[in-house]
């Protein structure tokens, strides 16, 4: 059962980190030159919903999503529009809830922790 739940979470995360942040209504794009741009999405209340970088029009580097209170929700790493490295989903207390490890957009491993930091699942 735990593996089924973790598999669902992984599928949801794969979709959700590609979509416009839920509740975000406007964005700011800053051209940093040489094909690099920083993008920041905002909620109506002015708090950052998501921020990250594009390199030559593709997601690149670390992207971070926040809730409407400004707390980090998801941190993901991208390389030329492909998930690469760790994607973290955080508990409200800031501790890691899920970690999904990617290489070239393919899931390599997944982990789950409780709110106290105790590891519950490792799913290769």
**Residue burial 84-105, b: 16+ Cβ < 10 Å; e: rest:** bbbbbbbbeeeebbbbbbbeee
Q: Domain boundaries in the chain? A: 2-123
On whether the 2-123 domain is CATH 2.40.50.100, my answer is: no
pLDDT digits (tens, 9 = 90+) for 58-91: 999 999 999 999 999 999 999 999 999 999 999 9
Measured between alpha carbons, how far is residue 87 from residues 35, 43, 101, 102, 109 in Å?
A: 24, 22, 6, 8, 11
pLDDT digits (tens, 9 = 90+) for 84-119: 999 999 999 999 999 999 999 999 999 999 999 999
Contact 47, 70 (CB under 8 A): yes
Model confidence, pTM: 0.81
Query: What is the Rg, in whole angstroms, of the alpha carbon atoms belonging to the chain?
Result: 15
Phi and psi at residue 94, in whole multiples of 5°?
95, -15
């Amino acid at each position: 059962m735990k593996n089924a739940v973790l598999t669902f979470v992984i599928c949801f995360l794969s979709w959700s980190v590609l979509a416009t942040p839920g509740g975000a209504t406007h964005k700011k794009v800053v051209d940093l030159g040489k094909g690099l741009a920083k993008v920041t999405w905002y909620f109506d209340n002015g708090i950052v919903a998501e921020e990250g970088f594009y390199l030559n029009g593709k997601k690149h580097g670390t992207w971070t999503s926040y809730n409407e209170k400004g707390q980090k929700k998801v941190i993901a790493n991208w390389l030329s529009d492909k998930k690469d490295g760790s994607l973290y989903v955080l508990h409200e207390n800031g501790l890691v809830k899920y970690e999904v490890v990617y290489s070239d957009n393919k899931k390599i491993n997944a982990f789950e922790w409780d709110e106290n930091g105790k590891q519950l699942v490792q799913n290769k």
